[in-house]
Amino acid sequence: MDSDSNPFITIGIPTYSRLRYLQEAVAAARAQSYPNIEIIISQNPHRDPEITTSIAEYCRAQEAQDPRIRYRIHPRNVGPEANFNSLADEARGSYVSLFGDDDRLLPDGIESLVRALEPNTVMVFAKRYIIDEAGIRSKKKTVAHDRLVGFDSLPPGQVANPEYWAWRKSPTIENSLTRTSDFKRLRFREDMDMPDIELFIHLAREGGKFIFLPEYVIEYRLHRNSTTGGDFRGFGKLADSLAKLEVSPEVEPWKKQLLEGLTYHAVWVSLLRGDMVDARRLMASEHYPANSWSNPKRVLMGLCVVLPGKLGSYAYNALHALKRRRLFDQSLSSARH
From first to last of the 337 residues of the chain, give the pLDDT tens digit.
466 679 999 999 999 999 999 999 999 999 999 999 999 999 999 999 999 999 999 999 999 999 999 999 999 999 999 999 999 999 999 999 999 999 999 999 999 999 999 999 999 999 999 999 999 999 999 999 999 999 999 999 999 999 999 999 999 999 999 999 999 999 999 887 788 999 999 999 999 999 999 999 999 998 766 654 344 457 888 888 999 999 999 999 999 999 998 998 888 888 888 889 888 888 888 888 876 566 777 788 888 888 888 888 888 888 777 765 554 344 433 333 3
pLDDT at residue number 166: 96
DSSP 121-176: EEEEEEEEEEE-TTS-B-HHHHHHHHHHHTTTTPPSEE-S-HHHHHHTT-S-GGGE
Q: Which phi and psi angles does 149 have, rounded to 5°?
A: -95, 0
What's the CA gap between 288 and 170, in Å, rounded?
Answer: 23
Sign of the C-alpha dihedral computed for residues 61, 66, 67 and 71 taken in this order: negative
Q: What is the pLDDT of residues 273-317, one digit of tens each?
A: 888 988 888 888 888 887 656 677 778 888 888 888 888 888 888
Q: Which fold has domain 9-221?
A: Spore Coat Polysaccharide Biosynthesis Protein SpsA; Chain A (3.90.550)
* Domain regions of the chain by residue span: 9-221, 261-336
Task: Report whether 142 contacts 231 (CB < 8 A).
Answer: no
48-57 long-range contacts (CB < 8 A, ≥24 apart) are: 48/17, 51/17, 51/19, 54/19, 55/15, 55/17, 55/19, 55/22
Render the burial of 68-101: b for 16+ CB within 10 Å, e for the rest: bbbbebeeebbbbbbbbbbbbeebebbbbbbbbb
